[in-house]
Amino acid sequence: MTYRWLWLRALAILAVAAFVFWQRTATGQPGPYEARELAVMGQEARGGKEILEDLARGRGAGVYHLEAEGDVIPDTGVEKIIGVTLSKDRGMLGVFRQGDGQPVMLASLDTLPLQEVRVVQLETGRNAVLIRELLDERFGAYFLSSFYVLYTWEDGKLQEIWRKVASNEERWNKKWMARGEGWQGVSEQVTTDFTRSEGKLAIKTISNQTLWSAPAATGPRTKVQSRTVTHTYRWEPAWRAMVMAEGRVNAATALKERRGNKYVDRLQLAAGEKVAVLEDEDLLSWLRPGEPSYWRVKVRNGQVGYILKSYLDLQPGP
């Protein structure tokens, strides 16, 4: 690797970190999901597949990795799923077909460093891959987050069907938002229970969230406010996703996407259109009353985005 390449790679990483820092301080909103996407997008996965292939062939002695087995791809038998952490900021997941000959890689994903890999059943005859990732940005961006992400096989590749913060610790200097002296932060601890409902996967979460203040970054904390939030997500084959609820748009509005620190229009939704609710995106409105609150939803064409809560009527469910 040349010095020029090392310099360019360092510059790219610095740019990603600066963007995350700007996004978070400009809004005051904890953004672990956006930070995760930027971190994965900024990866350079050179060498990762070779390491996974060596591990699948039993040639990775001494390399710490995680393994699971299960039938996650139709018509190929039982697959071996291998996850490896490549550096502080990088991981990779590989799915291999096993047989009499050499294992064959069927799919791979760039990830963050991995803490857990396993196979879970969505419904009879269909399984998914569950991973837990770690995003450690305590230097510079001041947060430490872990995530659950669930993937199923669709259209010839692994597709994300659920994601959830498992834990999150972050802090920021009040001066960055012109709010006086000292520090503030958010602590979030989530209890996750993988269970079943009517023969299908159901995931129940209890999230304890605390907003705190302190005179210094590592000083004694004073609780400002706290709450406990519970949610249940169910596998819905019709939506190909883990769904909290279904809803209908009550007036024409836009499905939005997140770009940096803004929500921008993506496509128009007609009144009466049915959507699947994937997540309650209300943390910012809880931290800063008066800020808009959103649902993250999936529409019938498969696109995922955000809709203001006032434009959606939730339908009664189980």
Per-residue CA distances from 21 to 7, 173, 252, 307 (Å)? 21, 12, 34, 25
pLDDT at 22 over 50: no
pLDDT in tens, 101-114: 789 999 999 999 99
- Pick the residue with more confidence: 44 or 267? 267
Average pLDDT value for residue range 271-279: 97
**b/e per residue, 238-271, with b = 16+ CB within 10 A?**
ebbbbbbbbbebeeebbbbebeeeebeebeebee
Residue 37 — very low, low, confident or very high, per pLDDT cuts 50/70/90? low
- Pick the residue with more confidence: 21 or 194? 194
pLDDT in tens, 132-189: 999 988 776 578 999 999 999 998 899 999 999 999 998 888 888 777 889 999 999 9
CB 267 within 8 A of CB 257: no
**b/e per residue, 83-119, with b = 16+ CB within 10 A?**
bbbbeebbbbbbbbbeeeeebeebbbbbbbbbbebbb
Residue 284 — very low, low, confident or very high, per pLDDT cuts 50/70/90? confident
pLDDT of residue 26: 44
CA distance 213 to 207: 20
Beta-strand ranges (E) seen in the chain are 65-70, 79-85, 91-97, 104-111, 114-123, 126-137, 143-154, 157-173, 183-197, 200-214, 222-236, 241-243, 245-249, 253-259, 262-269, 274-281, 294-298, 304-308, 312-314
Domain boundaries, the chain: 3-243, 244-318
pLDDT at 31 over 80: no
Tell me the DSSP string of 231-248.
Answer: EEEEEETTTTEEESEEEE
Write the class of the CATH domain 244-318. Answer: mainly beta
CA distance 187 to 209: 6
Alpha carbon 123 to chain centroid, angstroms? 22
CB 297 within 8 A of CB 306: yes
Residue 258 — very low, low, confident or very high, per pLDDT cuts 50/70/90? confident
Computed on alpha carbons and rounded to an integer, the radius of gyration of the chain in Å comes to: 21
Range name among 24-33, 134-143, 153-162, 271-280 with the lowest pLDDT average: 24-33
CA distance 159 to 134: 20
Residue 259 — very low, low, confident or very high, per pLDDT cuts 50/70/90? confident
CA distance 233 to 241: 9
pLDDT of residue 11: 41
Other C-beta atoms within 10 Å of 135: how many? 22
The per-residue pLDDT of the chain, averaged, comes to 85
Other C-beta atoms within 10 Å of 279: how many? 20
